[in-house]
Chain A
Amino acid sequence: MGGYGDVQMLNEDGTRMDGRRPDELRKIEIEVGVVPVADGSARVQWGTNLAIAAVYGPMEAHPRKISRQDRCVLDVRYNMAPFSVTDRIRPGFNRRSREIGKVTANALESVVQLELYPRSKIRVEIEIMCAEAGTRCVGLTAASVALADAGIPMTDMVVSVASGKVNGVVILDLNKEEDNYGDADLPMGILPNSGELVFLQMDGDLSPEDFQEAWDYNMGAAKEIHEIMVAALAARYGGDD
């Protein structure tokens, strides 16, 4: 968090530069089955963010050393396309994408019923095609829907969303400018049916009251996003959404 507190990010009437209320999400669109050669896939357009996630497997765990006798392993990768940001990023992994891949894997491992597939591997590939802020949340949400599209048994889908603070006001779902000039960012991975958390990060500076408000914003938004995820799956497979 830069903490450039003097940059004005809120309008006089309390709305944000992009016209949203403090507790309003960006527009989210989800489509499943977008990678025809994969076993499951999803595209999430979230504001200007565009993430595509694909799932391959369960398949034989390879290389052998990663194989577990009693469960399946999740092989999760998060990657940003070179053209996904304003200044081109060199292709290939960096420390940031490795870390996000790891915490995403840890979140998904908490819901996928891994013990059903001993000695197997499920590959989860997340590609950020266009980035605006909050790509780890968009990627994790896309991966959850892709796993559901692949028919992988899960106890719940992970819904990921972040809140933060700009100009002393707690706001939901930061955009790029709010992320750059804000004081804090609190991304969470929430299981909408149980209210449990499987992913949590935070950086910045929040008072106890602000922290609670950001937490509550995320919890409320998770239900809203979950409905969009379920509707996307229902659009492909039918059933009640």
Chain B
Amino acid sequence: MSIPLVPGLLRDHLRELSERDERVDGRGRLEGRPLEVEVNPIERAEGSARVRMGDTIVYAGVKFQIMTPYSDRPDQGGLMTSAEIRPIAGRNWEPGPPSEESIELGRVVDRGIRESGCIDVNKLCILPGEKAWQVIIDLHAISDDGNLFDAFALAAIVALRNATLPAERFDVGEDERLELSCTPIMCSYHKVGGRFVYDANGEEELGGDERIHITLGDDGHVHSLQKGLRGAFTSEEFNDIMGAARARREELMQLVESLEQD
């Protein structure tokens, strides 16, 4: 991504708004943008989701392949997450091999899902040492107006929860739903004008400092953290956003559960 010049004016403006406890688009500090989630919009994918948060729009698609298990784990399948920010997503995204930004995005989303253990890799084994399922999550941004992290993570978990193992197509049994044992959900906070805000938009990201991504599973368990970009924060600041993330995860969980398809 080519980084545009950050006008000092924008940073000053964000600082002034912050001092008045306001945000550039009128939201409260911990308020998210309007959220829309569509389940299985992609007919060719085995599970998919489209997430819109304000003017940020992303898709996640789940595909399954048959793999040979690794020799040190003959009874386990695999999981791969890949994020690609194609130049359709915005003026500053450029064509070419995956940028550092998109690699970080894919890896942070991957860690939240992987470490939560929501996918039991042992259950992905078809024939020990010979055949196992590989789950591939592809994240595809269409419109980037900030906070691709949360949009990708939400799209990924909704796509997984609504995915079907295409066993009949690979001649290894009957099609069945992918089982998940828990639901990791990411909440991201960005320091803008000297304080952390939830779900930063593109303008806030451009004029902001460091960001923190928190992935929480069931029963309050923490599964992944990532601090990105330049800036330092205190323990008190972290405790504040961790508390906010716990509350927000419950709201998002209700949304995710309301979307289940038969």
Contact = CB atoms under 8 A, between A and B. Distances in A.
Interface of A: 34-38, 48, 50, 52-54, 56, 59, 77, 79, 81-88, 91-92, 123, 125-127, 129-131
Nearest to A83: B61
Interface string B28-44: 00000000000001111
Contacts of B57: 34-36
B142 interface: yes
Interface residues of B, number: 33
Given A83-B61, A83-B63, A127 B44 contact: no
A92 to B, nearest CB: 7
Top 7 A-B residue pairs of the complex, sorted by shortest distance between their CB atoms: A83-B61, A125-B88, A36-B55, A88-B63, A83-B45, A82-B138, A35-B143
A35 B88 contact: yes
B261 to A, nearest CB: 17
Contact of B43 (A52, A79, A92, A130): A130
B140 A56 contact: no
Contacts of A91: 82, 84, 98, 138
Interface in B19-65: 41-45, 48, 55, 57, 59, 61-63, 65
A129 B42 contact: yes
A85 B44 contact: yes
Main secondary structure of the interface of B (DSSP, over half): mixed
Nearest to B2: A62
A127 B138 contact: no
B179 interface: no
18 contacts: A37-B145, A37-B202, A48-B43, A54-B88, A54-B143, A77-B87, A81-B59, A81-B138, A81-B140, A83-B138, A83-B140, A86-B44, A87-B65, A91-B84, A125-B86, A126-B88, A127-B142, A130-B43
B232 to A, nearest CB: 31
A199 to B, nearest CB: 21
B89 interface: yes
Interface in B102-144: 136, 138, 140, 142-144
Given A81-B138, A127-B88, 18 more contacts: A35-B57, A35-B143, A37-B55, A48-B44, A50-B41, A50-B42, A52-B88, A53-B88, A56-B91, A83-B42, A83-B62, A83-B138, A84-B61, A92-B97, A123-B87, A125-B86, A125-B88, A130-B44
Given A83-B42, A83-B63, A37 B144 contact: yes
Contacts of A34: 57, 142
Main secondary structure of the interface of A (DSSP, over half): loop
Nearest to A50: B42
A172 to B, nearest CB: 22
Contacts of B143: 35-38, 54
A119 to B, nearest CB: 18
A77 B86 CA distance: 10
Contact of B44 (A36, A54, A125, A131): A131
Contacts of A81: 42, 59, 61, 138, 140
Contacts of A79: 86
Contacts of A77: 86-87, 95
B89 A37 contact: yes
A231 to B, nearest CB: 22
A234 to B, nearest CB: 23
Contacts of B144: 37
Nearest to A47: B43
Nearest to B91: A56
B90 interface: yes
A87 B153 CA distance: 23
A35 B169 CA distance: 34
A129 B140 contact: yes
Contacts of A83: 42, 44-45, 48, 61-63, 138, 140
Which of A34, A52, A53 has most chain B Cβ within 10 Å? A52
Contacts of B62: 83
Contacts of A88: 63, 65, 136, 138
A227 B57 CA distance: 28
A51 to B, nearest CB: 11
Contacts of B63: 82-83, 88
